Amino acid sequence: MVIEVDRPDRKTRRQRGESDPIDAYAAATAVLSGAATGTPKSRDGRVEAIRTLRVARRSAIKGRTQAINQLKALVLTGPAELRQALAGQSTRQLLLTCRRLRVIARLTEAVDPITAATKVTLRRLARRIATGSTAAATGTPTTHCTSSPWSGCHLTSRPRTTPPADEPKG
């Protein structure tokens, strides 16, 4: 049997002190004395459905924020030529610019492999951020993974079946 206990009233809490052990003791006393007769929530219906959707949305927003922070950190710590080219841009403009960065097929063939690797990483992060923004905005994120080179594991509104328009197939 589960009995839901409300938190103690503020006056009692302040008189006896605010701590978890004291609150646990007060909850046990309330149950044994019969003062606590609440029944726990059933955890079904619309409220629970909305709660689960909010959990997914909150996760998508948190992931997007982390990716933006990583992108900005890479710009700050990246090669000087990239740092100068991307400096002073708003977040939105930075995302657009990074999504359009040109990269070569093989990093080993690059004249400057550090710059090439940084460009690849910035481009991937910017695209992941754009995909996560779509998921957060729609409110119906799902997770999917593919083995294609233009897609990874993302929170998206629906699984992608074709490559993005600005990226070549194959």
**In this structure, how many other beta carbons lie within 10 angstroms of the beta carbon of residue 45?**
9
- Label residues 109-128 b or e (16+ Cβ within 10 Å = b): ebeeeebbebbebbbbbbbb
Whole-number Å distance between alpha carbons of 135 and 32: 48
115 Cβ neighbours under 8 A, 6+ residues apart: 78, 79, 81, 82
pLDDT tens for residues 5-35? 777 767 777 777 777 787 888 888 888 888 7
pLDDT tens for residues 47-103? 888 888 999 989 988 999 999 999 999 999 999 999 999 999 999 999 999 999 987
Structure tokens at 57: 């949305």
Q: Is the Cβ–Cβ distance between 154 and 168 less than 8 Å?
A: no
Q: Is the Cβ–Cβ distance between 109 and 117 less than 8 Å?
A: no
- pTM, two decimals, is 0.56
